[in-house]
Amino acid sequence: MGISNATLPARKFKVVDFIAVIQPSDKLRILEDGREIAAGYLPVLMETHTQEMEEVLNKDIRKFRIHPEIRSKDWKKCGFVPPIHPEVLPDFKFSDLIETIWYEIHV
């Protein structure tokens, strides 16, 4: 017998609260109404964030997921789904695949 979402109490959790508990080496992607507001390593986002990002920090998180991303430099040639940021691909290979874990929050 597992716990369903229906049995959990509703809690408000803001973007700024989430940012306070993750690590600087974590990658974060913030979406609002399906549109990407910000994506990248947490310290870079906090240093270079826009006015729009500033407004998002105090919004409630509606959905959270871990978004694993396994990429290949040849993703187009292989017919793979494009990575979150296809222009940012590493120069090294790990058996031709690179895995990135993103925390994805929707506001």
Q: Where are the domains of the chain?
A: 11-106
pLDDT at 61: 92
* CB burial readout 75-91, b (16+ within 10 A) else e: eeeeeeeebbbeeeeee
Average pLDDT score over residue span 47-72: 82
- Mean pLDDT throughout 30-50? 86
Q: How many CB atoms are closer than 10 A to CB 71?
A: 21
Return the closest-CA partner of residue 71 out of 51, 50, 58, 90: 90
* Residue 77 predicted with pLDDT over 70: yes
Residue 71 has which token pair? 């990429």
Longest dimension (CA), the chain: 46
Cα angle at 76 between 74 and 80, to 5 degrees? 90
Query: What value does the mean pLDDT take over residues 80-93?
Result: 69
- Looking at the chain, the whole-number percentage of residues with pLDDT higher than 70 is 79
22 vs 83, which has greater pLDDT? 22
Lowest mean pLDDT among 26-30, 71-75, 88-92, 103-107: 88-92
